[in-house]
Structure 1
């Protein structure tokens, strides 16, 4: 009397274009994220690893803590850096941020 009959609606017949179009912005966002953030970071990591592997005795370096010194000892994962006359510290290789040109430190 007060309640009307409810009828089921027919299912949409496989509208794949609308589904693909709704996923397109999400996929596009991931592609942009890869090229803007992930790829440059991987490139910087590769360059830093190559720089650390190429360290040699006598190189002048800057560490992450801001210390400037000359490489005096090389180990597998550590290096010895001479900061001043006779003052030497041991650091991890990954703490080296930059290799300076020869003759920078005097």
Structure 2
């Protein structure tokens, strides 16, 4: 019984870390994957690097966005869920 009580703080610490750090990160990753799969031509987006544009073409893992200075091809994962949602909320 004494051995279990020695490890109890470590077990509790792991549970707290799991609940407050790992689970929310997994939920966020799942939301981003759903967002990437729901993108369609014509959507206004903002990339994680700050480019604003509209989707011109879609491929399996890449997207071509139309900006004021031309077209850019980038990975779907470079599109920011949070900033794009804020942009579309304003409009």
Query: What SS does the corresponding residue of 1:81 show, helix, strand or coil?
Result: strand
Structure with higher helix content: 2
Count of paired positions: 87
- Deviation of 1:54 after TM superposition, in Å, equals 0.3
- Deviation of 1:67 after TM superposition, in Å, equals 0.1
Contact 1:60 1:102 in 2 (8 A): no
- Deviation of 1:103 after TM superposition, in Å, equals 7.9
Q: What TM-score, normalized by structure 2, do the two folds share? A: 0.89
Number of the residue aligned with 2:62: 78
Query: What SS does the corresponding residue of 2:80 show, helix, strand or coil?
Result: strand
For each residue in 1:8-66, what CA deviation from the matched residue of structure 2 results, as whole angstroms up to 9, or x when unmatched? Answer: xxxxxxxxx10010010010000000001000000100001100010000000000110
Aligned-residue CA RMSD in angstroms? Answer: 1.6
Q: Which consecutive segments of 4 or more residues in structure 1 shift more than 4 A?
A: none
Say which one has the larger Rg.
Answer: 1
- For structure 2, list consecutive stretches of 5 or more residues without a partner in the other structure: none
